[in-house]
Amino acid sequence: QVQLQESGPGLVKPSETLSLTCTVSGGSISPYYWNWIRQSPGKGLEWIGYIYHSGSTNYNPSLQSRVTISLVASKNQFSLKLHSVTAADTAVYYCAKMSAHWFDSWGQGTLVTVSS
Amino acid sequence: DIVMTQSPDSLAVSLGERATIDCKSSQSVFFSSNNKNFLAWYQQKPGQPPKLLISWASTRESGVPDRFSGSGSGTYFTLTISSLQAEDVAVYYCQQFYNTPYTFGQGTKLEIK
């Protein structure tokens, strides 16, 4: 059973870049889709985007202008960068694996607070 | 975007009784080429990530108790817990994977009466 673990700063200043990494263990990056999803009290669960094992990406249009998801297959890691953050980006951020079309493995989540 | 709307927002059911949660999508998530509904159900307990319960609207994941069942097609779906157990207290979410952006319902909080 694959396991995922998010890591990164828990506090980010407004207008700066939120950066998170997800480390995958117990399985291969291929041939799956690797996702970022966030959860906030105000907006519930929100899909941010995914990167396929080939490197192709698909982002939520609501965040597309600010999001970059990248993959380091050799390290079994993928990462999220969210630029120009505001308080509205405060949330628990999850990484998740998508085998077919649903999210079948999730990390435990990491709380990121945007505040000065 | 496909909007997913769940009802009710919260639900209290006695132990051993049936719990029913509805999910409506703003457009059909039925894909005629494979005759399947692109809908999943998740369970989230406090402090934990969501856990996949059901995919394709009605296919239980391995290890999920058979008291959980999913039904529906097109735009209207239901998650049923046939006999509520104490460990079923959680928030339940539906999610469409018919197209991106993937979207979730707002969640239904299930409690013991």
**A15 band by pLDDT with thresholds 50, 70 and 90:** very high
Is residue B41 exposed (0-12), middle (13-18) or buried (19+ Cβ within 10 Å)?
Answer: buried
| Tokens, residue B102 | 């993937």
Q: What's chain B's average pLDDT? A: 97
Nearest C-alpha of chain A: how many angstroms from B39?
Answer: 8
Asked whether the beta carbons of A114 and A12 are under 8 A apart, the reply is yes
Is residue A3 exposed (0-12), middle (13-18) or buried (19+ Cβ within 10 Å)?
Answer: middle
Give dist(CA A59, CA B101) in Å, integer. Answer: 7
Residue that the structure tokens 């995958």 belong to: A24
Give dist(CA A70, CA A73) in Å, integer. Answer: 10
Residue A89: closest CA among A11, A31, A24, A32: A11
Residue A56: partners with Cβ closer than 8 Å, 6 or more residues away: none
Q: What is the pLDDT of residues B9-23, one digit of tens each?
A: 999 999 999 999 999
Beta bridge partners of A46: A38, B103
Give dist(CA B30, CA B34) in Å, integer. Answer: 9
Torsion of CA B4, B39, A7, A52, to 10 degrees: -120
Residue ranges of A 79-108 with Cβ closer than 8 A to chain B:
94, 96, 100-104, 106-108
Choose the mutation target among A5, A62, A103 for the interface with B, i.e. most B CBs under 10 Å: A103
Handedness of CA A49, B94, A38, B49 (dihedral sign): negative
**A1 band by pLDDT with thresholds 50, 70 and 90:** confident
Nearest C-alpha of chain B: how many angstroms from A75?
Answer: 24
Q: What is the pLDDT of residues B61-82, one digit of tens each?
A: 999 999 999 999 999 999 999 9
Cβ neighbours, 10 Å, residue B82: 14
pLDDT at A43: 77
Please report, rounded to a whole number, the percentage of residues in chain A having pLDDT higher than 70.
Answer: 100
Of A60, A94, A104, the CB nearest to B52: A104
pLDDT at A101: 83
Q: What is the pLDDT of residues B22-35, one digit of tens each?
A: 999 999 999 999 99
pLDDT at A100: 79
Is the per-residue pLDDT at B3 higher than 90? yes
Q: Which residues of A touch B40 (CB under 8 A)?
A: 101-103
Give dist(CA B25, CA B74) in Å, integer. Answer: 8
3-class SS of residue A26: coil
Asked whether the beta carbons of A45 and B93 are under 8 A apart, the reply is yes
Q: What is the pLDDT of residues A16-55, one digit of tens each?
A: 999 999 999 999 888 999 999 999 987 789 999 999 999 9
Mean pLDDT along residues A94-114: 95
Contact yes or no for B104 and A102 at CB 8 A = no
pLDDT at B48: 97
